[in-house]
Amino acid sequence: MLGHRSRGAIASLFSLLSIGCATTADTAAIRDDAEQMVSRSFSAPEPALLKRLNQDEAQRICSKIDHAPLAQDESAEVVKLARASIKYPPSGKLIGNWRHGEQLAHDGAGDRIQSGRLEKRKENGGLCQNCHALEPGDVNVGNVGPGLTRYGVQRGSSEEAAKYTYEKIYNAWAYVPCSNMPRLGANGHLTPEQIADLVAYLVDPQSPLNAK
């Protein structure tokens, strides 16, 4: 539940964002005022939670007022920043353990706030099923993103396919600027090794995701 201060800040924020005919300078001022209001209204007992208020440059570009479309140079900058963020496993192996990847794809643990604190967990999960259809016959899946059933059958498990899949999971903005897909590697939610395991779950012929 939002407190009175948070509700007031959000109401003021929407008032600012509803102003029409703003000049570029006005738009920048509105953004600054809105971010300051959100920052003042948000409190947390853990410093780590306050870091969520700080946008990186790519997120700042994507957070356009009134869902204004990206300019060509802005899209190019987001892609550039996204590609620069991608890190690979020290081993260089992009296809890991599909069994662990299967667990991660169905696990929603990690970075959730419970009673004002980050939950305690052994490792974060990817919760891919929240947005994608996965294994054949699954019914408890989302449809926000494209279906991934038999992904490996369609794309194969070549080095090129594994690299594309790894980078898409690590930071999808390298391919689709400002898309809704979480930047699971770039934001530190998943490790490179975990992402390699998710790649295996998607492309390995033995994975149940690729069952006929």
Residue 33 lies in a domain: yes
SS3 117: strand
Indicate if 63 and 26 belong to the same structural domain: yes
Number of residues that make up the chain: 212
Residue 90 lies in a domain: no
Q: Which residue has the tokens 């069994």?
A: 99
Indicate if 51 and 114 belong to the same structural domain: no
SS3 114: strand
Which pLDDT does position 24 carry in this prediction? 55
Q: Are the C-beta atoms of residues 53 and 39 closer than 8 Å to each other? A: yes
Amino acid in position 105 = A
Q: For the chain, what is the domain count?
A: 2
Indicate if 125 and 155 belong to the same structural domain: yes
Boundary of a domain, candidates 23, 48, 81? 81
Beta pairing partners, 113: 118
Q: Going residue by residue through the chain, which has 212 residues, state the pLDDT in tens, using 9 for 90 and above.
A: 444 444 455 445 545 445 444 555 576 787 778 777 777 777 666 676 677 778 899 998 998 877 789 999 999 999 999 999 999 999 999 999 999 999 999 998 888 877 777 777 789 999 999 999 999 988 888 889 999 999 999 999 999 999 999 999 999 999 999 999 999 999 999 999 999 999 999 999 999 999 98
What residue numbers bound the domain in which 202 lies?
98-210
Q: Model-level pTM? A: 0.80
Buried b (16+ CB within 10 A) or exposed e, 53-79: eeeeebeebbeebeeeeeeeebbebbb
Token output for 210: 């690729």
